[in-house]
Amino acid sequence: MTDIKNLNARLVNFRNKLAEMNLESALITKRENYMYLSGFTGTSANLLITDKKAYLLTDFRYMEQSASQAPLFEIVQHKPDINDTINEIINSEQIRVLGFEDHDLTYSSFKVLSSKFKTAELKGIGLTVDEMRSIKDEQEIEIISKAVKVADDALMQVLPLIKPGITEMDVAAELEYRMKKLGATAPSFETIVASGLRSSMPHGVASEKKLELGDAITIDFGALYNHYCSDITRTVFLGQPDKRLIDIYNIVLEAQLTAEKGAVRGKTGREVDKIARDIIYGKGFEGKFGHGLGHGLGLEIHESPRLSMGGDKVLQNNMAVTVEPGIYVEGLGGVRIEDTIIIRDDKPQILTQAPKDIIIL
């Protein structure tokens, strides 16, 4: 459960941002955002926040849970159509302009709101809450650190089980089972296990392919722990691989370590991405690293900021991001290495502790 002090700070911060937009109220509909602002983790809710009041609207199933988890909010059991209840609050609070999450709402939902809320003008607030979420408080960092440790520990338990003849899906199932045994509620995304020639596919989710001697095995997975995500990739080898893959591994590792070291406050995502990209391209693999270097993570597996060629956001302290360069050569295989880190002033806090030296099983 989120500390009430942190919840209060988030609510104050959000109201300040509304004031900067000349708004006195907003409707929050995105699940991760209402979780962040209220502490309520159920699957059905809207928040209506004014400069003085905070309402959480949910249905009968979640009345007890929401009252326990969201102490700063007035809990309202909404009518069969939640918009009718929202409209009642709009009228009682005399709201004339209502902010809404235009990046979350579908066009059809927007049309419904426009027709329902006769007295209030709707004004988009963009990614206001998403951007707030990009900077983690210490409680969030502690939870993400635990999510990372769950994934680290699961990997170390599974590596001894990797043998010729088992399938990629076997590896994924073992990882997911062990993460749950270690405290995760679920994997934070669909587990990727790509071996042999399939390892040249950056997002080759686990298949029925059997592992063979000489395979590079890219394992990309994460744990969902207390609603927060972790993300780790390691590439290991089953038996002695092609020498070219060893060379590629060393290049990717150099790029990963160097970019990780450079991921500090004040740099843009583009600048950090360039550190790794220059190393990989300089070794003759231009065009073989076709994705961004990394991304933010937290309540969602992909959040702001982006470490990529288009990443113009300046990194700030307490952002949680991944650093995951890779090289992918069709017909040969691929290598990716990924850590989760926390941005600091001049030296990132590296959460992922699984070894990155070449592992030959």
pLDDT tens profile 232-279: 999 999 999 999 999 999 999 999 999 999 999 999 999 999 999 999
**What pLDDT sits at residue 90?**
94
Average pLDDT on 117-126 reads 91
Domains and CATH numbers, the chain: 4-133 (3.40.350.10), 138-350 (3.90.230.10)
Of 40, 36, 29, which is closest to residue 74 (Cα–Cα)? 40
126: alpha, beta or left, given left = phi > 0 and alpha = psi -120 to 50? left
Average pLDDT on 128-134 reads 98
pTM recorded for the entire structure? 0.96
Q: For residues 25 and 99, is the Cβ–Cβ distance under 8 A?
A: yes
**What pLDDT sits at residue 2?**
78
- For 125, 143, 326, the CA distances from 151, given in Å and listed in that order, are 35, 13, 20
| pLDDT tens, position by position, 148-184 | 999 999 999 999 999 999 999 999 999 999 999 999 9
| pLDDT higher than threshold 90 for residue 76 | yes
| pLDDT higher than threshold 90 for residue 296 | yes
| pLDDT tens, position by position, 87-104 | 999 999 999 999 999 999
**What pLDDT sits at residue 1?**
67
Q: For residues 289 and 327, is the Cβ–Cβ distance under 8 A?
A: yes
How far is it, in rounded angstroms, from Cα 37 to Cα 333? 44
* Cα 172–Cα 178–Cα 183 angle in degrees, nearest 5: 130
| pLDDT tens, position by position, 12-70 | 999 999 999 999 999 999 999 999 999 999 999 999 999 999 999 999 999 999 999 99
Of 192, 198, 161, 200, which is closest to residue 178 (Cα–Cα)? 161
